[in-house]
Structure 1
Amino acid sequence: MPRLPKLAIIVSSTRATRFADKPTAWFSGLASQRTDAEFEVVDLRDFPMPFFDEVASNLYAPSQNEVAQRWQKKLTEFDGYIFITAEYNHAPTGVLKNAMDYAYPEWNKKPAAFVGYGSVGAARAIEQLRMIAVELQMAPTRTSVNIQGADFFAVWQQGKDLAELTHLLPSVNTLLDEVVWWANALNAAREA
């Protein structure tokens, strides 16, 4: 029997007042109910890297920054990644883009999936992240989870619980099915 894929749930906002903790707890709680993969929350707050200032990508030269080295080592533990992302000015967070730039071979040939939140469910940020993922030789999934508009504001400002938003569950389940399938397929391909 093949081993279970290990998937990182990456929290991509580091702001003191971030909303990210709510969708991360909700999504990781749902993911942890599955028996076909292992999940671990990885918080970018634990990897405070400076703006990318290495001589080159770690594909070409080892990173000198110790936090970046620790980040790269952490990423190698995983078979795929699920990004919990906000949208700032129609784009992903700067800290997430920076963290993605600090690694290269660690991302290669692994799936990427996205859970976004904000007025349009971070749809524009997710589209940019998909392009970045392709450049990093990742396989982005088709399905994303978008916590948008009234749902986002109901949770953020009115105290509604994400667990009440049961209409998001089909997207959550499809995203998880896709990322686990891709993790298994790409694991087999990398091992071959």
Structure 2
Amino acid sequence: MRIAVVLGSTRPGRRSEAVAQWVLKVANSRADATFDLIDLAEVDLPMLDEPMPAIVGQYQHEHTREWASRIASYDGFVFITPEYNHSFPAVLKNAIDYLYAEWNDKAAGFVGVGGSGGLRAVEQLRLVLAELKVATVRTQVAFGGGDLEGEPQHHDTLHVMLDELVAWASALRSIRAVAA
């Protein structure tokens, strides 16, 4: 089971980077999956430049084919998203919009960061991922401020979210096998 922790911000001085490192530290203490960081600041995709819609799957650019291969290799995702103006960052939307089938029939969990714990950003991200046939788990971690290393309730909530995520990602493997 492979899960990507997607750091959905590229803003200099981003608080979400410390949160992503904490999530990886906690997640990598588990034995039920392997967890890798995908930092969108390092992926460096240009603004969507594919001439065909992603649902067609005819990628013209090498950066898109590399991104598709990378995303296709995962069973699920933990999206770390800050909340910018009641939504998630454009860089995350751009990275999602590049692909279609590579997201299908996989699971996702969320860690929100922001004044309201990133709740509105996660709500909107759930809508976008539903269109891509991504099953999202109910439990989410919300960092409103303070300790970015996670307080006890954050640890407990993260473990519950990861339990749900691994269970859903595992169950969806059979659906992906039939679709293939």
TM-score (structure 1 length as normaliser):
0.88
Give me the CA root mean square deviation: 1.3
Q: Percent identity?
A: 38
Q: Which amino acid aligns with 2:96?
A: M
Aligned length: 178
- Say which SS state the counterpart of residue 79 (structure 2) adopts: strand
Q: Which runs of 4+ in 1 moved over 3 A?
A: none
- Residue 158 of structure 1 aligns with which residue? none
Partner of 2:170: 184
1:128 aligns with 2:124: yes
Contact 1:47 1:68 in 2 (8 A): no
- Other-structure match for 2:28: 32
2:166 maps to amino acid: V
Cα displacement (A) at 1:17: 1.7
Whichever residue aligns with residue 171 of structure 2, its letter is: A
Conserved 8 A contact 1:10-1:43: yes
The counterpart of 2:56, out of the listed 53, 56, 60, is: 60
Listed as ranges, the gaps of 5+ residues in structure 2 are none
- Render the CA deviation track for 1:76-117: whole Å, top value 9, x for unaligned: 110011101101100000000000000110000000111011
What is the CA distance between 1:45 and its match in structure 2? Answer: 1.5
SS in structure 1 opposite 2:138? Answer: coil
2:152 maps to 1:166: yes
- Whether 2:77 is the aligned partner of 1:91: answer no
Name the structure 2 match of 1:13.
9
Amino acid at match of 1:35: A
- Supply the distance in 2 between the matched residues of 1:102 and 1:179 (Cα, whole angstroms): 23
Aligned residue type for 2:24: S
Q: Secondary structure at the match of 2:13?
A: coil
Aligned twin of 1:109: 105
Normalising by structure 2, we get a TM-score of 0.94
CA contact (8 A) 2:4 2:36 kept: yes
- Once residues 33 and 95 of structure 2 are traced to their aligned partners in structure 1, the CA distance between those partners, rounded to angstroms, is 24
Partner of 2:46: 50
